[in-house]
Structure 1
Amino acid sequence: MVLAFAFFLALVPASAQLNRDQYARLESALGETSFFSGHLTGFMLYDLDSQRVLFEKNSQIRFIPASTTKLFTLFSSLLILQDSTQTLRYVADGDTLRIWGSGDPSWKYKEFAQPDFRRLLAPFRAVVFSDANQLSPEFGYGWQWDDYYFDYAAERTSLPIYGNLVRVKKSGSQALVFPASFQPYVSTTTRPIKELERDFHANTFEYNPLTFQGKEEFIPFLTSAQLFVDLASSETGKPWIYRADPLPAENQVWRASPLFPLLKEMMLESDNFIAEQLMLMVSDRLFQNLDTERAIEYIQKTYLFDLPDQPKWVDGSGLSRHNLFTPRSMVALFDKLYRILPEDQLYDILPTGGRTGTLKNSYQAAQPYIFAKTGTMSNNHSLVGLVKTKSGKTYCFAFMNSNYPYTASVVRREMEKVMVMVREML
């Protein structure tokens, strides 16, 4: 509580580090006559060197953070997982290998270094797979049900393969899917749909050849233990059998892939699937089971007990509208990240205005000045990270918006005006 109290004290002399004109300009840009008066906005600007708050507006109010939640996942992963993934736990039983997944999303997903399953399985005749250690459900608390056929809402599983996604390719007017084992379940329809769509309850897909555009490259498949062992058998050339055995207390751990590429992809591309799987790996590392809720509770009570305001944090990705964070807690968390990550890695992992990731097309400048995590969902848009000013100093900020009636691009343009002002005057 001492650290939290110290952070609050920093609010008291907030304006002392800005001159009267600078303070008035920020107050005008965010105040009652500004664009931001039409909806809920919270802002904090923080000096990382002096550890003092320069300016704040509604920084004590809780906002839906959307994908800025991934900063919490990043922090947890760095502390608990350190440098490599938590891929699986196993027990050798004669010529059979018994496996329990630990949440690693790498297998056949994007361009990540691949776990060498063939080498691991080489001495064994067969594999017995169990998912009895997964306590968290496939979908997170508060996720929207109708996101089920979008690639950003793939299901969470203990040992994913292909990112739990079917890949879609347009060939003429035909929809081709990979893995090819899904192709027999693709049919045509006369419904006026533009993309391949999956049934809510089954892995059956349909498209209209006359209107099919093929712009959606991936679509989640409905996961099941039997489907997984079928796909794993095909990929490894070994028979996999499903049996819901509990994880024995005595087991061995296989950490198969480097962690940083996953963290970088999560941050730059705001990959929800990776974020959710990271929290499962954190839970496995801590408790030998996959329980996101328990992992979050542990992180909050240990490493984040001193945040100015207790977050309501429920998932790894920010897909849930039940997440609620204040701008000053976001700044406090980012300050922790700033202290534990080497500077080159921090800048490498953050989207850069006009250059990389989710900021590639915004906050453009000859010299990049915004390095931050974005978060967007309907009527909510936030940005948390670093701003480099013309004096050469770097400040931390959290800029959070909720309940606006326009598109996110409208809010983003007005936010950019404020951040340009900060860059120019400090």
Structure 2
Amino acid sequence: MPDMIQRGIFLFLLLSFHFRLFAQIKKENYLVLEKALGPESFFNGHLTGFMLYDLDSQHVEFEKNSQIRILPASTTKLFTLFASLVILQDSTQTLRYVSAGDTLKIWGAGDPTWKYKEFAQPDFQRIIGNHTIIQFSDANQVSPAFGYGWQWDDYYYDYSAERSSLPIYGNLIQVKKIGNRPDVSPAFFKNQVFTTSKPFKELERDFHSNRFYFNPSTFLGREQFIPFLNTPDVFVQLAEAETGKKWIYKPEPLPVDHKHWRGSLLSPILKEMMLESDNFLAEQLLFMVSDRLFQTLDTERAIEYMLKTYLFDLPDQPKWVDGSGLSRHNLFTPRSMVTLFEKLYRLLPEAELNEYLAIGGKTGTLKNSFQAAQPYIFAKTGSMSNNYSLVGLIKTKSGKNYAFAFMNTNFPYPASTVRKEVEKVMVMVRDGF
């Protein structure tokens, strides 16, 4: 019996030593991060929020200012991704329609793929059939072309294309430099290009119209895409050229008795939205979410629904106003971002989730950063003037999976400077946790 007691005491002491050693290692890790983000660190010069969360034990390993709301920029697209997956599931919303003799009445449902990038195209001819006239209505679109809090002077940049119920060409013209002049497509816009003596380096659009100007002496032709003003008149002319049918615009309300067409596979759109941080796709995805839920295109209503249902349990109520993160009115806390990411992590198999995330040193917006022989960062970036955030999954050398949100705002230097410092901290996490 004494031998058994001695063996028990020895085992107890051994386990106690093990747990003390484990706790000491955890404390050392904590202190490393505390120093890296503390008063004498680079991050003390601006507002930083950080959270590191063990996805297996569901335990917060480290946090700093995780309760403070920070402008998320394009990490907002994680919320759009989640809404799209749970509401749209596997396919787009494309059209709602009614057949009336030789006329097909249609209401766009937000599908962004028509003549945009390399997406599989909706088979409009199958829906049009023998109809000779297409009557188009956008009366179901509640949200305006531009989002709440977007910067007005972004209107001529490709990342700020207009939202619409049935986009075509991504609501962009394409620009190619031929000699010292721009060549634009679609052809509809060719006679809308004019010269100017102003020192424009690119083709620039008039704010109020589809008149485009360039200076042959200073034209560089680096901007390959420019948004056009998507008026109903412009849209029906573009649609006629693509379909060979007569289109007319008549903003009738959507009748109760109508048919519904879901035209495209959703996953390629989600991947492009996430990996390339495509703002236009993000906005159209929320339009489609709204159409599926309410048969109207109302971003505000779709967001309100998601926050009251699938996202009611976020630690902090976010201020979420658009799909892309272009708005400076968006405000999320790091711990709400981590909670949202955990929802995605539980919703999808890890391999599938990683297809929607940029991989450090490999794909998307992280292709040229976080490089390592073994990829360890799978995340969404978000950056705009004075803001840089990174939210996603980090795989450590010990084999652990952690969700994290690293959000920075109000800094006076380039986002690339902050990104490099963020990378140093994430290497510490990779190697030490």
Question: Which interval holds the TM-score relative to the shorter structure?
Answer: over 0.9
User: Which residue does the alignment assign to 1:137?
Assistant: 144
User: Residue 153 of structure 2 aligns to which amino acid in structure 1?
Assistant: D
* Structure 1 residue 18: Cα displacement: 5.9
Which residue number in structure 2 is paired with residue 372 of structure 1? 379
What is the TM-score with the length of structure 1 in the denominator? 0.95
Structure 1 residue identity aligned to 2:143? S
* Distance across 2 between alignment mates of 1:192 and 1:95: 51
SS in 1 for 2:30: helix
- Tell me the residue number matched to 1:237: 244
Deviation at 1:123, TM superposition (A): 2.0
**SS of equivalent to 1:241:** strand
Is contact 1:16-1:54 (8 Å) kept?
no
> What's the CA shift for 1:354?
0.8
Matches within 5 A, 1:113-262: 113-262=120-269
| Identity between Structure 1 and Structure 2 (%) | 72
Per-residue deviation, residues 80-109 of structure 1 (Å, max 9, x unmatched): 000000001001111111000000000000
Q: 1:71/1:95 Cα in 2 relative to 1: closer, same or farther (>3 Å)? A: same
Q: Corresponding residue for 2:36? A: 29
| Worse-matched range after superposition: 296-305 or 17-26 | 17-26
Match of 2:393 among 386, 397, 400: 386
Which structure has the bigger radius of gyration?
Answer: 2
Q: Is 1:102 equivalent to 2:109 in the alignment?
A: yes
AA at the equivalent of 1:141: Y
**Alignment deviations for residues 304-346 of structure 1 (CA, whole Å, 9 cap, x no partner):** 0000000000000000000000000000000000011122211
Which whole-Å CA distance do the structure 2 matches of 1:74 and 1:100 have between them?
24
Match of 1:272 among 256, 268, 279: 279
What's the CA shift string for 1:130-164, capped at 9, x where partnerless?
00000000000000000000000000000000000
- Distance 1:17-1:348 versus aligned 2 partners, 3 A rule: farther
What's the counterpart of residue 296 of structure 1?
303
Given that residues 18 and 54 in structure 1 are in contact (C-alpha distance below 8 angstroms), is that contact kept between their aligned partners in structure 2?
no
Deviation of residue 208 (structure 1)? Answer: 1.2
Correspondence for 2:65 = 58
The 1-side partners of 2:352 and 2:240 are apart by: 38
**1:326 lines up with 2:326 in the alignment:** no
Residue type of the alignment partner of 1:390: K
Return structure 1 stretches of 4+ with deviation > 2 angstroms. 15-18
Question: Is 1:306 matched with 2:310?
Answer: no
Give the match's secondary structure for 2:405. Answer: strand
Distance (Å, rounded) in 2 between the aligned partners of 1:414 and 1:243: 54
Unaligned runs of at least 5 residues, structure 2: 1-21
Deviations 1:276-299 (A, max 9, x none): 000000000000000000000000
Q: CA deviation at 1:59?
A: 0.2
Q: 2:82 — aligned with what?
A: 75
Which of 270, 283, 287 is the equivalent residue of 2:294? 287
TM-score where L is the length of structure 2: 0.94
Please report how far the alpha carbon of residue 193 of structure 1 lies from its aligned counterpart in structure 2 after TM superposition. Answer: 1.4
Q: Which amino acid aligns with 2:335?
A: R
Task: Say how many residue pairs are matched.
Answer: 412
Counterpart secondary structure, 1:344? helix
Mapped to 1, the partners of 2:162 and 2:23 lie a distance apart of 49
C-alpha deviation, 1:192, in angstroms: 1.4
**Superposed displacement of residue 17, structure 1:** 9.4
RMSD: 1.1
SS in 2 for 1:233: helix
Displacement of 1:119 in angstroms is 2.0
Gap regions ≥5 residues in structure 1: 1-14
| Equivalent position SS for 2:284 | helix
Give, as a single letter, the amino acid of the residue that structure 2 aligns with 1:420: V
How big is the shift at 1:61?
0.2
Counterpart code for 2:353: L
Structure 1 contact 17–54 (Cα < 8 Å) conserved: no
SS, match of residue 367 in structure 1: coil
1:203 & 1:23 partners in 2: Cα distance? 56
What SS is found at the alignment partner of 2:303?
helix
Q: Which residue of 2 is the match for residue 87 of structure 1?
A: 94
Distance 1:45 1:303 in 2: 23
In the alignment, which residue of structure 2 is the partner of 1:4? none
